A and B are shown apart, each in its own frame.
Chain A
Amino acid sequence: MTLELRGVAKSVGGRVHIHPTDLAMQPGSMNVLLGPTLAGKTTLMRLMAGLERPTGGRLFWNGKDVTGQRVQDRKVAMVYQQFINYPSMNVYDNIASPLRLMGMARNEIDRRVRETAEMMRLTPMLERRPLELSGGQQQRCALARALVKGAGLVLLDEPLANLDYKLREELRVEIPRIFEESGAIFVYATTEPEEALLLGGNTATLWEGRVTQYGPTPQVYRAPQDAVTARIFSDPPMNFSTVRLSDGQAAIGQASWQADLSDGEYMAGFRAAHLSLEQVSGALPLNAVLESVEITGAQTFLHLRHGPDKWVGLIDGVQRRELGQELTVWLDPAHIYLFTPGGELARAAPYAAAA
């Protein structure tokens, strides 16, 4: 079971929602669509499901062209960000409804519903109506309905976004387990890089209707092809600064380090977590002005201004510093990506290449 998109594009009323996209998803793979809101994750997913017709390109399922096929015949499953269930049916009937439509035997339906309910820990709630359940249980009911029919393609559109923190953690652990058991192609849309990393598998990063990179998640994370992908796949977004390279020496402000690239102007990028307040051996000292501080329990976000650039530093522990003060932060050059001024990756951060 493979899903292949060949040049699939979508525009509505002259506005491009999805640029021509090629993607091939392998059988039994977990695929994360990562991108900010309005990047086109949902549209791409709706195209995969057949809820929308592409305005260009073709869609192949197991090598068969399914472009324009009715949704009902696609045998896909989808879970929305909102908890979508059939409010007039109880949980049992909700889960059973796709099976009944397939004309399955009654005892077979019963067996599968109970099995899926057990897996989603819904067994005590089978007689209840969806609106009498908590948000997490409602979403689990939606997941159960999606999984019960054994669809080859399961689309999850930010399924955890509307859940509270604790439930999200809980389901986030469960989803890879469910995925392993189902053996289907999972497509999972999310805005959070952390979620993509936790789920593993492959990641496609989306930006303004374009897939900027598709590959194994750790690889996309460590070696983003361009600055846009790097920005999407970092939370808080990657920090950038223009550097000049001459004679193999790159320089940010006063600090300089060895970089084996041809001379010229580059964009240096590094992740917030790689800034440090303590001196590490080999790290570059950078002077920046502290603009604001956000403390989130065990971590502190420092919002810094370095020349024309705005940076965010993520530091462990509670750090109370005076605002408006000049501050020295340390950055290991091993953590610096270099991009061409056009945004393409010139050199991955050495630490990532080593890993």
Chain B
Amino acid sequence: MAAVAESKGRGAALVMVLYLLFLMLPIYWLLNMSLKTNAEILGTFSLWPKNPTLANYRTILTDPSWYMGYVNSLIYVVMNTVISITVALPAAYAFSRYRFMGDKHLFFWLLTNRMAPAAVFALPFFQLYSSIGLFDTHIAVALAHCLFNVPLAVWILEGFMSGVPREIDETAYIDGYSFPRFFVKIFMPLIASGIGVAAFFCFMFSWVELLLSRTLTSVNAKPIAATMTRTVSASGLDWGVLAAAGMLTIIPGALVIWFVRNYIAKGFALGRV
């Protein structure tokens, strides 16, 4: 019996190791490349860097045309997250607490916004923002991403809010809390994990979205992802720097995931667990 259990355990471990190997391989390869010179990347096949170098990272962190990409991305991502959450909180509260005509249809319609590919909106956004002078600004990208992030945030927050008994609202009113005060002091702490998860989803979407952010910017608000796709120069691709940029792009996402790791499953279920 013990032998069977042991071999079973070993089989499971093997599958797990293989799985992790497949999962980590591309990331490892990216890291591997980022620490090599272009000559080594193109010239030889090596499982680890022969002459590890941080030159690629140095390039990115010292050259404004590179690091400003990160700064631009972070600016519009943070703007978008703040706007999305600020708008979604009252909307989600209304959907979770009040019944009004067409509420269910409206709620579903919100989600259908996410069903259209971003490319559909690229053209109208580009034309609209150009004509009102918002082209190539951070707020332009942040607002464009709201189209996708606000509905998602509303859905996630509504799920979390519906988990809070309505009696808490009423008790607070009876105790004398005004609505804004109740919302900030009592209600928001109760759905803090939901806000965290919603912010995470907004952050991630906005961070990885390429098409809209590239279409709506040229120089001043150019995101890192766009910078990375424009590194083809006369001397060919700069593989090492590109790999280093890729590594740095993963970091913010990984950091944010770390903070909401305990609630993320509930977030994927839109708070309805």
Question: A interface vs B, CB < 8 Å?
Answer: 49, 51, 71-72, 74, 76-78, 80, 82, 84, 86-88, 97-98, 101-102, 142, 145, 149
Contacts and interface: CB of A to CB of B under 8 A. Distances in A.
Contacts of A72: 173-174, 176-178
Interface in B146-182: 165, 167-168, 170-178, 181
B128 interface: no
A77 B165 contact: no
B186 interface: yes
Nearest to B173: A71
Given A72-B176, A84-B168, 7 more contacts: A72-B177, A74-B174, A80-B167, A80-B171, A86-B186, A88-B189, A101-B175
B173 A88 contact: no
A49 B172 CA distance: 13
Most chain B beta carbons < 10 A, residue from A76, A86, A149: A86
A300 B197 CA distance: 56
Contacts of B167: 80, 82, 84
Contact of A49 (B174, B177, B178, B190): B174
Contacts of B176: 72, 98, 101-102, 149
A51 B165 contact: no
Contact of B177 (A76, A101, A149): A101
B175 A97 contact: yes
Nearest to B177: A101
A289 B171 CA distance: 51
Contacts of B178: 72
Interface of B: 165, 167-168, 170-178, 181, 186, 189-190
A71 B168 contact: no
B173 A84 contact: no
Nearest to A77: B174
B168 A86 contact: yes
A76 B176 CA distance: 9
12 contacts: A49-B174, A71-B170, A72-B177, A78-B171, A80-B171, A84-B165, A87-B190, A98-B175, A98-B176, A101-B175, A101-B181, A149-B175
Nearest to B168: A84
Most chain B CB atoms below 10 A, which of A51, A84, A142, A145:
A84
B221 to A, nearest CB: 38
A74 B176 CA distance: 9
Nearest to A157: B167
Contacts of A149: 175-176
A49 B176 CA distance: 12
B97 to A, nearest CB: 13
A149 to B, nearest CB: 8
A84 B186 CA distance: 12
Given A84-B165, A88-B190, A51 B173 contact: yes
B190 to A, nearest CB: 6
A74 B167 CA distance: 17
A72 to B, nearest CB: 5
B174 A88 contact: no
B174 A71 contact: yes
A101 B179 CA distance: 13
B195 to A, nearest CB: 13
A33 to B, nearest CB: 18
Interface core residue of A49, A78, A82 (most chain B CB under 10 Å): A78
Given A86-B186, A87-B190, A88-B189, A145 B175 contact: yes
A145 B173 CA distance: 13
A76 B174 contact: yes
A37 B257 CA distance: 46
Contact of B165 (A71, A78, A82, A142): A82
A102 B173 CA distance: 13
A101 B171 CA distance: 13
A140 B172 CA distance: 17
Contacts of A84: 165, 167-168, 171
